[in-house]
Amino acid sequence: MATKKRGNPMKAVLAIALAAMTAASVAAAANFPVGTHLVKGTLKDWQNKVLTSSAAVTVQAVSTNGNVIASTKVANPTADGYNFLLQIPLSSKATDSTAAVGDTLNCVLVQDSGLSLAVDPIKVGEANAVSSVSLAYVDMKSYTSADGATANVPAEYIDTITPWMEAYAEEYGIEGDYDPFADYDKDGVSNYDEYRAGTNPFIASDKLAIITYSASQNAPHAISFEYVGGHVYGVATTLSLVNPQWATQKVKKTETDAEQEQVMPSADEDDVGSVTTIYVVPAEGAKSQFFKLEAK
């Protein structure tokens, strides 16, 4: 009588174990929510003032493919100075509506008028953690010149030039908002750049310029100039004036101060025509170096 062969029970156990492992691998590969990362932010205007809800600005965290991951309106600042809170939903892998830990999201400021402005990106942190950011905002308006050129310019620019237009329009024969691309006083500086410096775009002698410059060995170079309160200044340098390659140079308020990208000598808008000195560290080993004062 023939006997039946029995299956190996160990193989059956191994098969069940492999199936369980495969199911676990599939589960591990699945995407699942892991919590929320909070970003406490401070949005300031160009004069370094913290904005309130009256600014009517929405702050968005946007993925690199354009999906809005988190959005919030600017509110009145809290006691610690924060005026917006982004709640970024997280998952183990980024989706159209979530981010993953370590992602970098674009930060976009959207005005009620529909204009948007990209600012510093946001780095996504761990779930249930809180990070903080400080952002600068400039209220923008769309401007179209007589020849059809279009640009987004700060609303402050339009407000600033209005009285100048009323005072000089008849002399220059200009109607409406003056063209930010033009140079009406022919001083080599555009109207818009004069606005940034706080100088009058209709008076050629009123312009941003270096008054004195001094350099000593192994010490920062000193640059003195007349400033306008509430405006920000910096310095660009190049090693040659033949096909110059201008680059922003870090500056100091004093010789021993920490280096910064730019400085605001005074926030007082009535402080006009005062002289200040800022200091620039010279390029190491350079035989010659040229400096250019800039309004930011």
Mean pLDDT, residues 200-209:
88
Q: Which two tokens stand for residue 104?
A: 């970098």
Q: What average pLDDT does the chain have?
A: 82
* Fold (topology level) of 33-136: Immunoglobulin-like (2.60.40)
18-27, 123-132, 219-228, range with greatest mean pLDDT? 123-132
Write the pLDDT tens digit of every residue in 116-149: 888 889 999 999 999 999 988 877 777 777 777 7
Hey, is 50 helix, strand or coil?
Answer: strand
State how far the Cα of 140 lies from the Cα of 130, in Å rounded to an integer: 30
Which residue stretches of 30-107 are H helix? Answer: none
- Provide the pLDDT confidence category of residue 260 given band limits of 50, 70 and 90: confident
The more confident residue out of 191 and 71 is 71
- Provide the pLDDT confidence category of residue 2 given band limits of 50, 70 and 90: low
- Provide the pLDDT confidence category of residue 176 given band limits of 50, 70 and 90: low
Burial of residue 136, with CB atoms counted within 10 A of its CB: 0-12 exposed, 13-18 middle, 19 or more buried:
middle
pLDDT at residue 164, as a whole number: 78
Mean pLDDT, residues 179-184:
82
Domain locations in the chain as residue ranges: 33-136, 140-197, 210-295
State how far the Cα of 164 lies from the Cα of 202, in Å rounded to an integer: 8
Mean pLDDT, residues 213-233:
85
pLDDT at residue 93, as a whole number: 93
